[in-house]
Amino acid sequence: MEIHHISAEHLSIGRVREILDRHITLALSDDAKRRIVRCREYLDRKMEHPERPIYGITTGFGSLCNISVGHDDLAQLQKNLMMSHACGTGERVPSEIVRLMLLLKVQSLSYGHSGVQLATVERLIDFFNADILPVVYQQGSLGASGDLAPLAHMSLPLIGLGEVEYEGRVRPAAEVLAEKGWAPIELQSKEGLALLNGTQFMSAYGVWAVMQAQRLSAWADRIGAMSLDAFDGRIEPFCDEVHLVRGHKGQLTTARAFRRLLEGSELLARPKQHVQDPYSFRCIPQVHGASKDTIDYVESVITTEINSTTDNPTIFPDEDMVVSAGNFHGQPIALAMDFLAIAVAELGNISERRIYKLISGQRGLPNFLVAKPGLNSGFMIPQYTAASIVSQSKGLCMPASVDSIPSSQGQEDHVSMGSNAATKLYRVVNNTERVLAIELFNAAQALEFRRPARSSERIERLFADYRRVVPFVDIDRVMYPLIDASVRFLRTEQVEE
């Protein structure tokens, strides 16, 4: 059994992917345990002789920060916080995002600046390892005082409240805890605040989106290369000389990827009648490349975030400091996720234009890629579907982070709306995957009309793999299962390096 030891060391997006894909077990390192225990013991000593009120520990929350709470009520204060803040609504958060939330919350608490009990962190690890996933809802966070509502839902099962999904069923958390022989956690001072403050809802979506964006960026190149060859496109716009004089890394990387993908193509080597290609083909390096550069930037922002302490107040035992500040504010990743949504949407936007060109009856391809025209409509409507999806993504790319609505009687007067940026981004990523799947559906169909000429070895290998799940369409048939099969192909097929 492979184990990942949570510690104060760097957690990369790549390592997160490995943990999820290989179902690696989590455990706290000895160093992380020492940090957590040391911070808790420091806070307990601090509570014995408090010199002044400490926000959220000996006071109420938000605009109630000036109301002191007696020592005997501190545990109930944290429980009340968790219950009152579990106000999520709307669709459930997907299970893969909830797993990420658990992992990232454990990582954030492991630095020893949050004041939680060791038992609390270890129970979160128990949930992750046993695949006991709290039921969390997508709507309710402003992305500023941390992801209060979704993290409250994530944390309720720790104290035996709320619901979890376990072994394929949604069940009361108390029932599953009893089944496991786990007693509910008795919260101590500050613990509810440590669990609810933080950006793990936003960050989980951000991590997931970066991983998917990297995958879809690679697919966009492979599919775009097949479309370029099927459209009888030119390779000259992909030469190094063009891209070296502009200097953007992603642009050069894309051009080189296309030359590698299309190396040895018979179609590419044929004499061309046309002098240049439409932008959706000729400007692929510039468009795909800009998205690559954006994905790299957002990965760096999200990586910093998941290696951070983001709850409040922040505790510094060495400096004898408990500071009420704003590390829970989601602005850094809200802006980045809005940017990523635009970059991923653009991969879909240019893909839909290539789809349109493939069915337009140009360069020897039949109208709508119909093998037997007249009676059959062929690939007319898949382009409609792609256009509809792309249009929806354009609407979703309105930045959430430009909005702010004051809350808590004006105490929390500027919020990031990063949670809305995150959930919109999730939809944009899935939309772009569907559009790329439709382009592959069209590109493979178009390539067949170029026979007996063949594309490159790499593209022909992709074509053969795809044809094992989606056939050539010679007469009209029900199309949506083929589109669905194309989507599943992109999700399950490994992207060739």
Question: How do residues 400-449 score in pLDDT, each as one tens digit?
Answer: 999 999 988 888 889 999 999 999 999 999 999 999 999 999 999 999 99
Predicted confidence at residue 47, as pLDDT, reads: 77
| 205-492 homologous superfamily | Fumarase/aspartase (Central domain) (1.20.200.10)
Predicted confidence at residue 359, as pLDDT, reads: 97
Tally of residues, the chain? 497
Measured in whole angstroms, the distance separating CA 44 from the mean position of its chain's CA atoms is: 37
Q: Report which of 165, 144, 148, 150 is spatially closest to residue 88, judged by C-alpha positions.
A: 150
Predicted confidence at residue 23, as pLDDT, reads: 95
Predicted confidence at residue 416, as pLDDT, reads: 94
Per-residue pLDDT reduced to its tens digit, 148-187: 999 999 999 999 999 999 999 999 999 999 999 999 999 9
Angle at 301 between CA 297 and CA 307, to 5 degrees: 140
Judged by DSSP in three states, 122 sits in helix
Q: Across all residues in the chain, what is the average pLDDT?
A: 93
Cβ proximity of 228 and 220 under 8 Å: no
Predicted confidence at residue 75, as pLDDT, reads: 74
Predicted confidence at residue 442, as pLDDT, reads: 98
Predicted confidence at residue 44, as pLDDT, reads: 87
Maximum Cα–Cα distance across the chain:
87
Residues with a catalytic annotation lie at 55
| 3-198 homologous superfamily | Fumarase/aspartase (N-terminal domain) (1.10.275.10)
Alpha helices in 71-117 (DSSP H): 74-85, 95-109
Predicted confidence at residue 46, as pLDDT, reads: 83
- The ranges of the chain with pLDDT < 50 are 63-64
pTM: 0.95
Q: Is the dihedral angle over the CA atoms 112, 114, 119, 124 positive or is it negative?
A: negative
Predicted confidence at residue 257, as pLDDT, reads: 98
For the chain, report the end-to-end CA distance as a whole number of angstroms: 28
Predicted confidence at residue 119, as pLDDT, reads: 98
Predicted confidence at residue 77, as pLDDT, reads: 80
Read out DSSP for 15-49? HHHHHHHTTPEEEE-HHHHHHHHHHHHHHHHHHHS
Predicted confidence at residue 341, as pLDDT, reads: 98
> Rounded to an integer, what distance in angstroms lies between the CA atom of residue 188 and that of residue 137?
26
Q: What is the residue type of 326?
A: G
In the chain, what are the domain boundaries?
3-198, 205-492
The per-type count for the chain, helices as H runs and strands as E runs, is 19, 9
Predicted confidence at residue 340, as pLDDT, reads: 98
Cβ proximity of 435 and 404 under 8 Å: no
Contacts of 469 (CB under 8 A, 6+ apart): 485, 486, 488, 489
